[in-house]
Each structure stands twice: as structure tokens, then as C-alpha cells.
Amino acid sequence: MLTRIGALTAVLAMLAPWPCEAQGKGGNVQATLVAAGDAVIPGERLDMGVRLRMRPGWHVYWKNPGDSGLPPTVSWKLPQGFRAGVIEWPAPTRFLDEGLVTYGYHDEVILPVQIQTPTYIAGDSVAIAARVDWLECKDICVPGSATLRLDVPVRAERRLGRASTRVIEKARSELPDTAGWFLEGGAGPRAISLWFIPARHNKPRSAYFYADEPLLVDYAAPQGFERVGQLWRVTMKPAPNADRNLDRLTGVLVINGNGGTHSVQVDVPLRASDSGPAPPQPLLPRRTPPSAAYVAILAGLAIVLALSVPRIIRRRTHHN
Amino acid sequence: MKRMAWLASLLLLVAPVSLAHAAAIVGQRAPSFELRDADGKAVKLDSFRGKYVVLEWTNFGCPFVGKQYGSGNMQSLQKKYTEKGVVWLTICSSAKGKQGYLDGAGAKASMKEHDAAPSRFLLDPKGSVGKSYGAKTTPHMFVIDPKGTLVYNGAIDDKPSTNKDDVPTAKNYVAAALDESMAGEKIATSATQPYGCSVKY
């Protein structure tokens, strides 16, 4: 009896391998589709990622590749009613090559994408497919592409305790912050400045700004980094043919400090100021509007307090 | 002694960066140069004053160059505009031993193989002209007007990819700059971020 159950389990395991990863190959980069969890739940968001694993020395590019290169693109083929979001780009690193500077990733990168699913899904399994194109470069560049497919079961609930879930969660947790930092931009003929205070307690030892707008920053020019009072400042040399009408600074700021590496999405107006004084120093980092969850917790606390305070008072009166 | 070694290594790190800092600025005089062509003849930019000049950085091993030549687009641009009196200079700045490096004979063979039709094919194996223009990618395109002023610096078109199928639907910035400037109009897009492989200095 026991052996029969054992055999049955083995057969079931073979029949249901939960194929949450699909393989595709470029010459020096291996592309894989990764999904968080082992199932699609109708109406719930599905966290996906495109994993690119590179041979040593090879790299792929960020959304703004810098002096040369090309960012990866993902074109999804999804079941009816499914909708893929955009790539949420992790903070890049930079590559120096004969005086040219490019932005991208080496060894391995997960490009997270969120997929909205419809409230009704026909069938008990869906095929999530994507064509991924990239440029892989070392001393030379080669275009790579892969057509990937992942068959995911449709269920009412999802088990998250999978390696692929941890891969996606880790990648998402490392995405640049979207709030909580003090950020202010200034532009002059000689330098573009970004003043900042990190959101978390992390005293920066170095900082680098990755501009995502083309023709704004000279990628190859070293960036300045200094402390100005309570603020830190990164200075960049404008691109030689920079568009003088650019009025916003957008990109990702990456700092390295005693608290590790942190990054933040930057999208700030470019005020007309160069190496002049720092902007008025704030006493506290700029507050961002509280999130819905934060408001809900506060409201919950208020209700609990409102309910328990009269009881405490009543108890006290009893003692008296 | 240790400090000296440290300083020296710092200088070595900084030196190659500063080389690429020169750039050709739109609206300013295009940097002068003299290079040998595939036949070994000296070619001076200043000798073309009075004519439009297109500079095209190339590396036939680069897939972005392959997109333009494989689709026949680069050759047809070369033919179309040289027939209109434009001087089209294709320049190879790949260093010896790096991808795309060509000597005179190699350049002639490559031109024949690709049916390329520039006015001249110039060899810049030391990369000095490439660096004086801030040439970053292959292709990287420049347009100089008859007065010697740089009027376009950037990408060949607005579809950054290695896909030949993108060529017919792309807006070609070089053709637009030449057409607009020749018609006496203001060039709508005079600077863009070039895309392609890095120049193999």
C-alpha cells in the first residue's frame, strides 16, 4: 500500500512539474521567464520577471544605455484579458570602455514586470509567452533574442514558497525607491546638480546619477559628489549637445554608504541654478503623501483607541 | 613610493576618459582633420568647403552597421546624396586588433562586398579624428554645411535596434537634416543620442 502511494506520488510529480520557468538562449546570455508563485489567480496581479544570465565579461543595457548599446525589449503574447505592465528597471551599474561609459547589468539581472489578469479565465492553465530581444556586449556586441513560454496553472489560490517567488521578491525589493528622499535639481551652463538626502539612515560615501533622458548628461565625464550642509550633492557635466530646454531631471540616483547600496527614482524640475548655493535646507526629508495602507493602519488604531479608552476609564471608576 | 604608484595608477585611469571628452558641437565649426583614404591618399576636410559633408562612423562587424548595409539603406543614402553633390566620408576608427579594423586593401574589399558608395573611405586606426568628434557609436553620423559648420550630430534614425525591418518606418535624421538645410529651412532635429556598438578605439 505504502509503495503504491509512493509510486502514485512519483507519477503525479512527473505529470505536474509546475513549469514556472522557460528557457531561451542568446549566444552569451540566457533568458528565462520567472513567475512568483505556482499559479495564476483570476483577477489577481501576477508578478513576473525576465531573468537574463550572462557569461562572465558580458553585459546587457539599462533603459538608457549611455554612450552606446541598446536596452532589452520584451514583447508579450498573453491570453485574452491579460495585460502586461512595463519593465520596472533595476538600478544599473556602469561600464567604462575606451573613454565611453555605458549603463547596464552584468552576471544576472531580473527585469520585473507585473501582469494584470482578468476575473474570469477559461481553462485550467494559461500560456504566458514573450519575445525578449537584447544586445549583449563584451569587446564586441551581438544581438540576442529568445521566445519564451511559461504554462501556469489557473487556481483559486497560489503557493508562494517557491524559489522563483523569492527571486521575484528579491528583485522587487531592490528596485529604486519611489518616495521618501529629499531631491532637488538645478541646471546651469557648467553643471547639472542633484541635491539629496537619503530616505533611510545611510550616510553616502559615493553617489552616481544615471540620467534616463538622452542628451542631458555627459556620460563619460566624472561626476562630482560632496556634502553641502545637511544635504549631499551630485554634479554632472551637461552633454555637449544638451537640449537647453530640458526642464526636468529624470533617472536613478545610486548611493553607496555605511548602510549599503540604495537607489531612488528621480523626477524633479530643473531649476536654473548652477554652482550657486544649495536650495533652502529642509529640517526633515520631504514627506510624501501617506499611502493607503498607512492611512488604514492609522484609522484602525484610532478606532481601537476610541473603543478602549472609555473601557479603561470605566474600569478606573470601578476601582474607585 | 607607494603614493607615487597610487597616483600613477589614478592618472592611468583618468587619462583614457579625458581623451573622449572632445566633441563636435552643433552650430560650431566642425573640427578640421586630415586622414588617409583606402587608396592611401590624404584627404583634408577643409578641401570640401562649399559642399555639404556627411561623416559616417563604421565598423562592418557591428550589427547596427549590418542593419543599415544589410537593408541597403546606407548605400542608397550614399548614392542619393553624392549625386546631389554631397561629400560622403565613411570613417573607420577601429584600432588594429579590434573589431572592424581595416587597412586600405581591407577597406576596398569591404566596400566592394557591401556595394558601399561613399565619396571616400577614411582610415582612422589611431582614433584621433573619432575622438575629436566625440564619435561614440557605429553608426554615428555628422552633417557639415558648406560653410564648415556642424549642423547635425547623432543617430542615423529614430529606431534604435538591430532589426532591418525597422528601416523603412524609421525617420532618417541625416536625410532630414540634409533635405531641410538644402531647402534653406531650419533643421528640426540637429542633435540626438547616437545608438549602436561602441567605436572600437
pLDDT tens across B132-157, in order? 999 999 999 999 999 999 999 999 99
Distance of CA A45 to the CA centre of its chain: 16
Cβ contact (<8 Å) for B198 and A96? no
Average pLDDT of every residue of chain B: 92
Among B23, B161, B198, whose Cβ lies nearest the Cβ of A97?
B198
pLDDT for B152 equals 98
Does residue B20 or residue B65 have the better pLDDT?
B65
Beta-bridge partners for B44: B34
In whole angstroms, give the CA distance from residue A59 to residue A51. Answer: 13
Cβ contact (<8 Å) for A141 and B63? yes
Among B162, B192, B193, whose Cβ lies nearest the Cβ of A135?
B162
pLDDT cut 90: percent of chain B above it: 89
Phi, psi of B158, deg, nearest 5: -100, 15
* Contact between residue A94 and residue A106 where contact means Cβ atoms under 8 Å apart: no
In whole angstroms, give the CA distance from residue B62 to residue B66. Answer: 6
End-to-end CA separation in angstroms for chain B: 32
Phi, psi of A239, deg, nearest 5: -60, 145
Cβ contact (<8 Å) for B192 and A100? no
Instruction: Among A14-28, B7-21, B174-188, name the most confident range.
Output: B174-188
* Contact between residue B16 and residue A98 where contact means Cβ atoms under 8 Å apart: yes
Cβ contact (<8 Å) for A67 and B198? yes
Three cell numbers written together for A64: 538608457
Nearest Cα of chain A lies from the Cα of B192 at a distance, in angstroms, of: 7
Alpha-carbon distance values, A10 to A13, A16, A20, B110, B172 (Å): 5, 10, 19, 60, 60
* Contact between residue A237 and residue A193 where contact means Cβ atoms under 8 Å apart: no
CB pairs under 8 A between A and B: 86
pLDDT for B13 equals 43
ipTM over 0.85: yes
pLDDT for A242 equals 85
Beta-bridge partners for A268: A249
Per-residue pLDDT of chain A (320 residues; tens, 9 = 90+): 444 444 444 443 333 333 344 444 458 999 999 999 889 999 999 999 999 999 999 999 999 999 999 999 999 999 999 999 999 999 999 999 889 999 999 999 999 999 999 999 999 999 999 999 999 999 999 999 999 999 999 999 888 778 889 999 999 999 999 999 999 999 887 899 999 999 977 889 999 999 999 999 999 999 999 999 889 999 999 999 987 777 899 999 999 998 899 999 999 999 886 554 455 454 444 444 445 555 555 565 555 555 554 454 444 444 43
Q: Choose among A262, A263, A238, A261: nearest CA to A252.
A: A263
Average pLDDT of every residue of chain A: 83
In whole angstroms, give the CA distance from residue A191 to residue B87. Answer: 37
Q: Is the pLDDT assigned to residue B16 strictly greater than 70? A: no
Q: Choose among A136, A134, A142, A170: nearest CA to A34.
A: A170
In whole angstroms, give the CA distance from residue A72 to residue A136. Answer: 9
pLDDT cut 70: percent of chain B above it: 90
In whole angstroms, give the CA distance from residue B99 to residue A15. Answer: 49
B11 touches chain A (CB under 8 A): no
In whole angstroms, give the CA distance from residue B28 to residue B148. Answer: 9
* Contact between residue A236 and residue A251 where contact means Cβ atoms under 8 Å apart: no
pLDDT for A161 equals 75
B177 touches chain A (CB under 8 A): no
Task: Characterize the bridge pairing of strands A125-137 and A141-153.
Answer: antiparallel
pTM recorded for the entire structure: 0.83
DSSP A232-278: EEEEEPBPTT--TT--EEEEEEEEEETTEEEEEEEEEEEEE-SSSPP
pLDDT tens across B49-58, in order? 999 999 999 9
Per-residue pLDDT band for B192 (boundaries 50, 70, 90) equals very high
Among B18, B63, B193, whose Cβ lies nearest the Cβ of A143?
B63
Nearest CA in chain B to A219: B21
**Cβ partners under 8 Å of residue A15, min gap 6:** none
**Average pLDDT of span B78-98:** 98
pLDDT tens across A228-240, in order? 988 999 999 999 9
The cell 546651469 sits on which residue? A188
Q: Is the pLDDT assigned to residue B21 strictly greater than 80? A: no
**Average pLDDT of span B101-108:** 98
Cβ contact (<8 Å) for A67 and B137? yes
Q: Is the pLDDT assigned to residue B105 strictly greater than 50? A: yes
Which is it for the CA torsion A211, A217, A221, A225, positive or negative? negative
User: B200 contacts in A (CB within 8 Å)?
Assistant: 98, 139-140
